[in-house]
A and B are shown apart, each in its own frame.
Chain A
Amino acid sequence: MARLTVSGLTKTFGAFRALDDVSLDVADGEFVAILGPSGCGKTTLLRQVAGFDQPDAGSIAIGDTVVSTRERAMPPEERRIGIVFQSYALWPHMSVADNVAYGLTVAGVREPERSKRVDAALSLVELAGFAARRPSQLSGGQRQRVALARCLVTEPSLVLLDEPLANLDVHLRAAMEREFARFHERAGTTMVYITHDQAEAMALADRIAVMDKGRVLQFAAPSVLYREPADATVAGFIGEGMVVPATVAAVAGGTCDVDLFGHRATMRCSARTTPGPALVCLRASALSVAPEGTGALRMRVTGTIYQGGHFRVEGMIGADPGVALHFTVPEPCALASGSLVDLAVSDGWVIPGRAS
């Protein structure tokens, strides 16, 4: 078990900044997700931590050992970490047992100790009867579990998971998600989980680092990301937050009064918030249809989408072109495209920093 410290990591490919001054501090035994759209630099970061690439600036330390700097890098084979690859990367010419045993053989673990640990790892992933099979004879979920067993059998101090569920179908994902969580609980290993799926990240991670264009935008617990996004990009990316311009009036100990297109609402804010123009993050769950004549936020409905049991209502507020909003109303829904509706705003978050 080991902590992972990434400081000021920068990597450029030609003119493209794949990693731009990335710093992360992952605690011992923590489960951290790196979340971002494709091309945000999360895979580059993983390859840096694994040692497949060397940084242009900054450093990486695993435990107390600096493993990567611009000048020197410890090769991947000496880092004693585990990776679960997106493609699983099971060796097709070896049996399931040989795949799992490989790391032990390399480390010089002898029989009967080796077989004992392989059997234990395979039964942990519930594949005890599959030791003699070839990877090609397994289903996608089974391959994933072999990859996991192979990675954990050597008890690495740090495990990297590169979009491990991307190649599985939807119902298998939920089952594997639970499996990863169970594992982390049992093994207590430090895990870094790369994904573009925020539901996965939310479900699994102690903390999530949201990345975009090679930078870490926010590194926090899932509920903090959701409730208190650090900037407009995170607010929009996580949970489909709506970023709306507003004016902060009075600030009082973690909450403040906000003027939202002439409508007054109380919202949460950071301690450093000062009165003035700002951006606020609204959630669909905080919007509801207000009773007539409460002087609420008026929205012009642009469309409704049936989502099974409820409708997603989309519309605009403010002068043309205005700001897009959406919320859900239970079935039946009388709101037609073009109609006007008054909204009550029960919650919101003032995004730190000035509105630009």
Chain B
Amino acid sequence: MADVAGPRGRFEDTALLWALTGVVALLSIVPLARLILEALMPGGAFSLGVIGRVLSSGTTWSATGHSLVVAIGGTLLATVIGSAVALAVTLTDVRARNLFVFVFVMPLMLAPQVVALAWIQMAGPSSPLLGALGLAPPLGSRNPLYSPGGIVLVLGVQYAPLVFLTLRAGLRAMPQELIEAARAGGARPLAVVRDIVVPLMTPPLLAGVALCFVSCLGNFGIPALLGIPTNYLVLPTLIYQRLAGLGPGTLSEIAVLSVLIGSIAMIGIIAQDFLLARRDFRTVAATAEARSVALRRWRLPVEIALWTLMLFTLVLPLSALAMTSLVPAIGVPLNASTATLEGYRFVLFAHDAARRAFANSFGMSAAAALMIVMIAVPFAYFGVWRRTRALRVMSLFTEAPYALPGVVLAIAAILLFLKPLPIFGFSLYNTIWIILFCYVARFLALGLRPIVSGYHQLDRTLEEASQIAGARLFRRLRTVILPLVAPAAAAGALLIFLTAFNELTVSALLWSTGAETLGVVFFSFQQGGDSNYASALGMLTIGVSVSLMLATLVFADRLPRGVLPWRD
């Protein structure tokens, strides 16, 4: 008999596997390794001098203290709001639940800096909303939100949906019989919550809290808009100012600061991992539909409370933002005769950087989404269906750039790309490519998750059938696997697009002339005092985000359950 036929068909598999391993290592392990190396060996030689200098500086510790204060404060507020809303929406029979979830989760999909500006416009002396009501603080007085309390308030509202989503998924996964058994045993609703729900829901709640803490800690847009005016610096804004003020010369010190904030975030990440065993409730929702407790005469008051919360935390700030976007100049009262679309015309057509930013943000978000899908579809294929051990380990590393604060990745990328690339001989620093690299690295995990759950829900014999028909790996990927995971991949691509489109943290540190993003232009309008232009730009980005969120509801039925956080 002839010998076994040569392993021709395995070549594609091996080549693709190595390529994927290399790409994902470059995106996740290499930048972070470079950052840690810089902190320990500034300029290439081992030295604790820089670490000592940074750690003995008062600024470092005041920013660290501020970071902890606003992160813990924001987390507490988010926990109170998020868990109360999760209990009400999941366990009771309130009406219009889908609509409420969509609206409540919306801030998570909007740019934090735009939300912060909306709050500034609502509460400040030039607030057209308060002005119209005659309640505005006197002109010249300080906006009450320019304070640690203001940062905590906006962070808390922004990230309450994280606690909500985590806890809600936990509640839905809880066997309904446990509640019914307690009710049958004679327990009243509040006793049920106290004795059954709270003890069982402690792990998902704490996981949501940990996730929320990491997000508050890493947020740049909110403390940038609310803290910088009064020089209340947190670690991300301190890193930003150091880099903007001194340039990349002090990179070693900045690297130490990045490792510092990364280490604090790691505490939260490890806590969350430990509590959830790496299940992420943002995208892996439970499937069971909980039967709800009838509120009877309390239903209307609870519904009014829920929607009032939305009125004050979303509708009024966004209305203020919309009104500011219509004023001809800051301070001019808004009425039918003064309202103008000049701000929109200016940012859309007249301002060069804004026009470039639209092209850059749309282009880079779409490119990042596309590239991540192209990486994640084969990557998840090997990880889930082929159970390739190397890639299952690698998929843990892909979480790091997403979970860690954005400044950490941005500084790591600067260190990696400051020097000219070997072979090519040019530097990616100060080009648009370094931002795109960071987008792909940072949002890879975001795209990977829905695709992984897509593979879990598909029947692998569909691939085996094409294999038996003689199709090699690349053909199977193209003709069978990709079409099957396409809905999940589209959901992932959309999450990436929305997040990258509204992104500021990474691009604020990496932008250069010609490589502005919408976040950067928005931020510079606001810093330059052009709040009306910033508002118009913010309104436009909100319009894009909300339209895309709504558009997904059309094909939501074909998606694995729970991949779109705003769809219940």
Contacts and interface: CB of A to CB of B under 8 A. Distances in A.
Most A C-beta atoms less than 10 A away, residue of B5, B470, B484: B470
Interface of A: 50, 52, 61, 64-69, 71-83, 85-87, 89-93, 102-103, 106-107, 150-151, 154
Interface string B466-505: 1111111001000110011000000000000000000000
A77 B4 contact: no
A66 B3 CA distance: 6
A72 B465 contact: no
26 contacts: A64-B2, A66-B3, A69-B4, A75-B7, A75-B10, A76-B464, A76-B467, A76-B468, A77-B471, A77-B472, A79-B468, A80-B470, A85-B461, A85-B464, A86-B461, A87-B459, A89-B465, A91-B462, A92-B484, A93-B483, A102-B469, A103-B469, A103-B470, A106-B470, A150-B469, A154-B470
Contacts of A67: 4-5
Given A66-B4, A91-B462, A102 B479 contact: yes
A41 B526 CA distance: 69
Nearest to A65: B2
Interface extent on B, as a size class?
20 to 34
A83 B5 CA distance: 21
Interface in B441-476: 459, 461-462, 464-472, 475
Given A75-B9, A150-B465, 17 more contacts: A71-B4, A75-B7, A75-B467, A76-B464, A77-B472, A78-B8, A91-B466, A91-B480, A91-B484, A92-B462, A93-B483, A93-B484, A102-B466, A102-B469, A102-B471, A102-B479, A106-B469
B277 interface: no
B184 interface: no
A68 B1 CA distance: 13
A25 to B, nearest CB: 13
Most B C-beta atoms less than 10 A away, residue of A69, A75, A107, A151: A75
Contacts of A93: 483-484
A75 B466 CA distance: 12
Nearest to A153: B469
A196 B231 CA distance: 76
A167 B484 CA distance: 23
Contact of A77 (B1, B2, B470, B483): B470
Contacts of B2: 64-66
A61 B4 CA distance: 9
B465 A91 contact: yes
Contacts of B475: 106
A106 B470 CA distance: 6
Contacts of A90: 465
Contacts of B471: 77, 102, 106
Contact of A74 (B1, B4, B470): B4
B465 A78 contact: no
A107 B259 CA distance: 55
Nearest to B9: A75
Most A C-beta atoms less than 10 A away, residue of B2, B5, B469, B480: B469
Most A C-beta atoms less than 10 A away, residue of B4, B462, B466: B4
A92 B1 CA distance: 40
Closest 6 CB pairs of A and B: A103-B469, A75-B9, A89-B465, A89-B461, A72-B4, A93-B483
Nearest to B475: A106
Interface in B1-51: 1-5, 7-10
A102 B10 CA distance: 21
A77 B461 CA distance: 14
Nearest to B462: A89
B1 A65 contact: yes
Contacts of B468: 50, 76-77, 79, 81-83, 151
A102 B7 CA distance: 23
Nearest to A83: B468
Nearest to B470: A106
Nearest to B459: A87
Contacts of B459: 87, 89
Contacts of B472: 77
